[in-house]
Structure 1
Amino acid sequence: MTIQEIQEEIVDEFSMFDDWMQRYEYMIELGKSLPLIQEKYKTEDNIIKGCQSKVWVHAEMKDNKVEFTADSDAIITKGIIAILIRTFSGQHPTDIIKADTNFIDEIGLKEHLSPTRANGLVSMIKQIKLYAVAYQTQLN
């Protein structure tokens, strides 16, 4: 699936819920299905700066695609990073770099987060794109 298709799927899933309590519960469920980062990658280097809670993201290049794993010590944040990992993991670096993240606004996520969590979300996206830039550079 392309990034766009995954984003559309996520928007459709979130549109099934009537209120934000249901959406938060769904995000918590998504967090439980997150491909967990190995303990050896839970290092200071892999922590997302700018997040209120601890979020670790690890990236590896496999068959010219970036594979991400992650974890967080907070359940809502774990759900947020799970959405991003689902969207961007297994994609080509160029596609990750070019992808817009309007789907975040479409599901209303940013406006329903506290300012510190919203900043953390922006930091997570920025870090994922930085990994993609680094891997893209290696491919060239």
Structure 2
Amino acid sequence: MVAFNFMARFAPSVEDGTKRQTIRAAGKRRPPRRGEQLQLYTGMRTRNCRLLRTAPCKAVYPIAMDLAARRVRVQTGDVMGELDAEEVNHLAQADGFATAADFFEYFAATHGQTFAGHLIEWEV
């Protein structure tokens, strides 16, 4: 099982099933695999830790962002394609942000000018 922690602002939408994806930076650990069970928490490593839901991983896509230029590229199959403005807005809303501008501001503040990681989707 793979565990993910969510900020309090995202917890209600993870719990009620309206948020069905997360974007995580590439790191030392491997990303989850399709079909692998995910444990979705809020407040991990605190006494307020709470399991929001468990769900099977639906898909994992490599994602790269140039946050200064507000460009997003997602790999599907063998192709790394750039998202258009409408697709970026949909991605941002699916990830729990009101607008693409909020999405880019959050990632720039958290990760700097560039980002490489994985878009992880789960079943509800």
Fold match by TM threshold 0.5:
no
Shorter-normalised TM-score: what interval?
under 0.3
TM-score for both structures, normalised by structure 1: 0.24
- Looking at secondary structure, tell me which structure has more helix per residue: 1
In the superposition, the TM-score normalised over structure 2's length comes to 0.26
